Amino acid sequence: MKKLEDIPKKDLFKAPDGYFDKLPGIIQARVAKPEPKSVWMPVIKFALPVVAVVTAGIFWFSNPTVQSVEAELASINTEHLIAYLDNNEVVWEDVEVDRNWSEDDLLELENQVYATFDTDGSELELLDEILELENL
């Protein structure tokens, strides 16, 4: 078996003469080259957010469709709404909204509904009598 010392040593790679003497200068020349800086980068860095905010503000404040639901419903004529509901069958599943009602919400809704009644109580007594007669 051959020993490592018995294997002839050959110089497989030969560097050109003076290569390692010139190498530090070549590396320094490549590193020292200043990269050209873009003039527009600082401008874009600050101008882009300003342009985005201004565009969003123009869109938000000039868009006529941005209204509250209450304002839109208030603009509907009551007679037109009644005529529409009389002429169209409303299916509760189409109107149903998933909402968690608190007790305060329900009491406020009840007060709003009863506040619309303009009665001295005689109509309610008559209605009560009619319902009692129908149940007999």
- pLDDT of the chain along its 136 residues, tens only? 678 888 877 777 788 888 889 988 888 888 876 777 777 787 888 888 899 999 988 887 776 555 566 777 788 888 888 888 888 877 766 666 667 778 898 888 888 877 777 667 777 778 788 888 877 6
pLDDT at 119: 67
> What pLDDT was estimated at residue 40?
77
DSSP class of residue 121?
S
State how far the Cα of 5 lies from the Cα of 29, in Å rounded to an integer: 43
Domain ranges of the chain: 36-86
Contacts (Cβ under 8 Å, ≥6 apart) of 60: 66
Whether 40 and 34 have beta carbons less than 8 Å apart is answered as no
Q: What is the pLDDT of residue 96?
A: 65
CA distances from 71 to 66, 76, 79, 85 (A): 10, 9, 17, 20
pTM exceeds 0.75, yes or no: no
Residue 67: per-residue pLDDT: 58
